[in-house]
Copies of this chain bind each other. A is one copy, B any other.
Amino acid sequence: MRNIRMTIGYDGTDYHGFQVQPGVPSIQAALIEAIAAITGETAAVHGSGRTDAGVHARAQVVNFVTSSRLPADRWCQALNARLPNDIVVWKAEEAPLTFHARKSSKRKTYCYTINGNRYPDPLNRRTEFHHPGSLDVSAMREAIRHLEGEHDFTSFCSVRAASESKVRTVYEAQLTQTAVEGMESATGVGRLRLFFTGNGFLYNMVRIMAGTLLAVGEGKLHAAEIPRILQARDRALAGPTAKPYGLSLWSVEYEL
């Protein structure tokens, strides 16, 4: 048996998330089907994490164990020929049998993209949240720093989150601001990207952090309130859950 580790990207718009669910399209089901077409086997495909319905990925990592003898460098082409064009396998390599895309992962980075111009960018409308109202970007910069570090993120996860411990470490939280290219003269703050790198993220955690930072940008919350919201461990105090389509799983890191 061999363990194949792959890096995949997808446009999540037309999927009900990563995980297999009966009767609806999912990334995992599409992968299982394409692998079965090649190997005749129904493989268990493990992802580094589930992405919600509508969430995208630049570099999701998955693995599966197979008896197929297809060389590692042939999997990309073989699978891409069978996958729909909104899912792409762009790296495949053989991994030790002990490798597990979720259990072995050390750090993950997510990116939440906000188009803060007055009018949306039609060419990126599937992958960014459009916020036409004014945003105080320096307040958002101040707020995002309070999310870095080891915290109990109970206030920043869905009340439906199953994890026992809500303590996670956000190693890095950054806001970048760039013009929407080709629309440099458009009115507004341009494109904001919120990058979060952590050892793990609770259910809806990135979307709630993004929604809370948007509330800070709108002046509905003060940046200085973030520490108190964290301490309160009360989901009701943080901002709303931001729309899924602005979110992308950016990268997953493993120990060598």
Q: Is A127 an interface residue (CB 8 A)?
A: yes
Contact A85 B125 (CB under 8 A): yes
Interface of A is mostly: mixed
The CA-CA distance from A7 to B117 in the complex, in Å, is 14
Tell me which of B76, B88, B121, B186 contacts A122 (CB under 8 A).
B88
> How long is the Cα–Cα vector from A85 to B88 in the complex, in angstroms?
26
Q: How many residues of A contact B (CB 8 A)?
A: 36
Given contacts A76-B118, A118-B76, A119-B76, A125 and B182 within 8 Å (CB-CB): no
Residues of B within 8 A of A122 (CB): 9-11, 85-88
Given known A11-B123, A119-B76, A123-B56, contact A186–B86 (CB-CB < 8 A): no
* Contact present for A123 and B58 (CB under 8 Å): yes
| Interface members, chain A 177-195 (any B CB < 8 Å) | 181-183, 185-187
Q: Contact check: which of B117, B125, B185 meets A86 at CB < 8 Å? A: B125
Which among B85, B118, B123, B251 is the interface contact of A120 at CB below 8 angstroms? B85
- Chain A 159-198 interface residues, beta-carbon cutoff 8 Å to B: 181-183, 185-187
A80 touches B182 (CB 8 A): no
The answer to whether B183 and A9 have CB atoms under 8 Å apart is yes
Query: What's the number of copies of this chain in the assembled complex?
Result: 2
Q: Is the CB of B250 within 8 A of A182?
A: yes
A91 interfacial by beta-carbon distance below 8 Å: yes
Given the known interface contacts A118-B76, A119-B80, the answer about A185 and B91 at a Cβ–Cβ threshold of 8 Å is yes
Chain B residues positioned under 8 Å from A185 (CB to CB): 7, 91
Which of A71-94 touch B at CB < 8 Å?
Answer: 76, 80, 85-91
Q: Does A212 contact B (CB under 8 A)?
A: no
Bound CA span A187–B250, Å: 17
A61 CB, min distance to chain B CBs, angstroms: 12
**CB-based nearest B residue for A120:** B88
Which one of A7, A122, A185 has the greatest number of beta carbons of chain B within 10 Å? Answer: A122
Cβ-defined contact, A248 with B58, below 8 A: no
Contact of A91 among B123, B186, B250 (CB under 8 A): B186
A85 cross-chain contacts in B, Cβ below 8 A: 120, 122, 125
A85-B120, A123-B248 given; name 9 further pairs at CB < 8 Å.
Answer: A9-B123, A56-B123, A58-B182, A76-B119, A87-B122, A88-B119, A90-B118, A90-B186, A91-B186
6 closest A-B pairs by CB:
A58-B182, A90-B119, A11-B122, A88-B122, A90-B186, A86-B122
